[in-house]
Amino acid sequence: MEEGKELIAAQGRDRNLYRMAMDFIRDSAKYKYTYHFTWMGVPIIQLPQDMVAMQEIIWDLKPELIIETGVAHGGSLIFYASMLELIGGTGQVLGIDIDIREHNRKAIETHPMFKRITLVEGSSVDPHIVKKAAQMAHGKKRVLVALDSNHTHEHVLQELHAYSGFVTPGSYLVVFDTAIEDMPPGFFGDRPWDRGDNPKTAVFEFLKNNNRFEIDFEIQNKLLLTVAPEGYLKCVR
């Protein structure tokens, strides 16, 4: 076990490996690499490495509630729900999105894992939506949050402030697509986010004034390939 930790730390310090990982993420994006995977028949739009990391977190933590902002096709919701189903118990998943398209909603609501999923349509930073999340999180001893909606600095920073309070000590606040900061300027075309205005810049701003969370570098050092470098935030108090 100790040798493994040392090797993980060593590969995290290997800047050549890090550059190759970022090159892969950059170069594979033109083929929409992350769009080619499904979970239990539903598109998930994630790197497999990040799916493995989330599986490890969920298995170890056994959360009573997982909150995800940004639903898209719903693959991540199905993935989280299936992990909770394997663990057993009454764990639930809350999915929030400003626009849950009808065909995606149908695919989610007719899926066997929907029994553990609640869908809420609306902006993740709308106070009424945050209140609904707070109601579901109330009294829960283990809550995990994943942010994967609008990737602009301002929106993610608002989400961090709105949802970080739901995360319980020992759990995680996972901010996806922090790798935007590591891509070339203008890489995302007409999207409203870019280098200097993205989830990673929001994470750094958030951590300036919040001592409950620390970046878990061991996770990204182990994965190497991740869309969330500096985005796995562990709640330490």
- For the segment 180-207, what is each residue's pLDDT rounded down to a tens digit? 999 999 999 989 999 999 999 999 999 9
- For the segment 46-83, what is each residue's pLDDT rounded down to a tens digit? 999 999 999 999 999 999 999 999 999 999 999 999 99
- For the segment 16-46, what is each residue's pLDDT rounded down to a tens digit? 999 999 999 999 999 999 999 999 999 999 9
φ, ψ at 11 (rounded to 5°) = -70, -25
Cα–Cα distance, 169 to 203 (Å, whole number): 18
Please report which confidence band the pLDDT of residue 166 belongs to, taking 50, 70 and 90 as the band edges: very high
Q: CA torsion angle for 118, 122, 123, 124 (degrees, to 10)?
A: -10
- pLDDT over threshold 90, residue 3: no
Q: Strand runs (DSSP E) across 109-222, as ranges?
A: 117-121, 143-147, 172-175, 213-215
Cα–Cα distance, 158 to 202 (Å, whole number): 9
Average pLDDT estimate for 85-109: 98
- pLDDT over threshold 90, residue 130: yes
Continuous segment of H or E residues that includes residue 38? strand 38-39
**pLDDT score at 46:** 97
Domains within the chain, CATH numbers bracketed = 2-235 (3.40.50.150)
